[in-house]
Amino acid sequence: MLKNRSVIDSMDLSVEEIDELFTLADDIKSRPNLYVNACEGKLMGTLFYEPSTRTRLSFASAMNRLGGRVVGFSDPSSSSVTKGESVADTARMVSAYCDIIVMRHPYEGAPRVASLYSEIPVINAGDGGHNHPTQTLTDLYTIHSVFGRTSHLKIAVCGDLKYGRTVHSLIKAMSRYEGTEFFLISPEELRIPYYLRQFMEEHNVKFTEVDTIEAVIAQADVLYMTRIQRERFFDDSEYERLKDVYVLDNEKMKAAKEDMIVMHPLPRVNEIDREVDYDPRARYFKQARYGMFIRMALILKLLEVGYQENHTRLTPTKYHCKNTRCITHFEKEPQQMLDMGGHHYKCLYCDYTVRIDE
């Protein structure tokens, strides 16, 4: 049952629950009139502490198409954040007004904090360079719609794999499907974080790290392009050096399979040449539209009825998260480092993993 749960990580939804969302999204797409009043009387709070076009507007469109209403902010400078209000207190307040919260935040783990204080479901709409679970639902729904399955696929993921939250959530979610294989295309500086490498090893997922698109494009069923994200770099000269390292164009597409698809969470900058937009294998704009239908399905499932009663809290440990982008460095949240065994401790909020030898 998805009713009243928060969705913070792509692993918060089981494979069966994701299948149910696909079925519901298909029905919404083919019979939209049946759903126009489904959320009548319900209110969504959209709290966007970071810019967004697709995620914010697709959630707002989804709620409006279901007959619900939307309040919120897209510019935190117009909210009491500027007076120093914490994420925890903001979540408490908005849960007193609304029925569901959608939150995007630059700090990793902020939506997790909100979910611990909110009395209504919280959906993570992207937390820093960490996770973006509803983009992953969009991606999975697109893949399912094109191939009729989400298993036995070779996925090439290209670009900023270090800070790319859509990539992190996608890798976790796809790792549960049989026969998934990843080709991870990035410069050395933007390789996936350690915890995801560990995750794939634990789940026996085959992955290969390469430097170029050309090395793997002929084998891929899906080429998932991502933007090099200026906003995540500490050093702008480093961004300038890496920003155009990958550009997909028609020449490179010649080596791809006839039924391969190109995806991108968008926005794009230069990493897909505009000429590729006219190739029938380019699916990124359709992918963005699928995002609205799968978000409609998610809202319907989470809003069925009732309120969250319990919040799981863990006992704080003596260790502190060392990720300087973690929300726990900005708010007075108790540090919660989970003991993963073998002297490894993982932050509950941002997944940053450290080895601590006592």
Contact between 72 and ligand CP (CB under 6 A)? no
At its nearest, how many Å lie between ligand CP and the CB of residue 75?
14
Distance CA(24)–CA(301), nearest Å, equals 9
Pick 104 or 346: Cβ nearer ligand CP: 104
Pick 109 or 126: Cβ nearer ligand CP: 126
At its nearest, how many Å lie between ligand CP and the CB of residue 175?
21
At its nearest, how many Å lie between ligand CP and the CB of residue 344?
30
Ramachandran angles phi, psi of 353, nearest 5°: -115, 135
User: Shortest CA distance to 217 belongs to which of 162, 258, 245?
Assistant: 258
- The residue range among 15-23, 51-59, 147-155, 278-286 that interacts with ligand CP, by the rule CB under 6 A, is 51-59
Tokens 């992190």 sit on residue: 168
161-196 in b/e form (b: 16+ CB < 10 A) is bbbbbbbbbbbbbbbbbeebbbbbbbbeebebbebb
Pick 267 or 334: Cβ nearer ligand CP: 267
Measured at the CA of 112, the angle between CA 109 and CA 118, to 5 degrees, comes to 145
What tokens does 317 get?
A: 């440990």
The 1-40 site mask, x for binding ligand CP (CB under 6 A), equals ----------------------------------------
User: Shortest CA distance to 225 belongs to which of 284, 176, 274, 179?
Assistant: 284
Distance CA(213)–CA(218), nearest Å, equals 9
Q: Which of 45, 126, 164, 193 binds ligand CP (CB under 6 A)?
A: 126
Q: By the 8 A CB rule, do 47 and 106 touch?
A: no
Q: Which amino acid is present at 301? A: K
Contact between 53 and ligand CP (CB under 6 A)? yes
Pick 23 or 53: Cβ nearer ligand CP: 53
Number of Cβ atoms within 10 Å of the Cβ of 14: 11
Contact between 52 and ligand CP (CB under 6 A)? yes
At its nearest, how many Å lie between ligand CP and the CB of residue 89?
25
Contact between 230 and ligand CP (CB under 6 A)? no
DSSP E strand boundaries for the chain: 43-48, 69-73, 100-105, 122-127, 154-158, 181-185, 206-210, 222-225, 261-263, 337-341, 344-347, 353-355
Binding residues for ligand CP, rule CB under 6 A, total: 9
Pick 155 or 321: Cβ nearer ligand CP: 155
Distances (CA, A) of 63 to 60, 112, 117, 234, 288: 5, 22, 23, 36, 16
- The residue range among 48-56, 66-74, 87-95, 191-199 that interacts with ligand CP, by the rule CB under 6 A, is 48-56
Q: Which amino acid is present at 129? A: G
At its nearest, how many Å lie between ligand CP and the CB of residue 265?
4
Q: Which of 54, 172, 301, 325 binds ligand CP (CB under 6 A)?
A: 54
Contact between 135 and ligand CP (CB under 6 A)? yes
Contact between 55 and ligand CP (CB under 6 A)? yes
Pick 109 or 291: Cβ nearer ligand CP: 291
User: Shortest CA distance to 157 belongs to which of 128, 199, 190?
Assistant: 190
At its nearest, how many Å lie between ligand CP and the CB of residue 348?
24
| Active centre residues (catalytic) | 54-55, 83, 104, 132
Residues 240-299 that bind ligand CP (CB under 6 A): 265-267
Contact residues: ligand CP, CB under 6 A: 52-55, 126, 135, 265-267
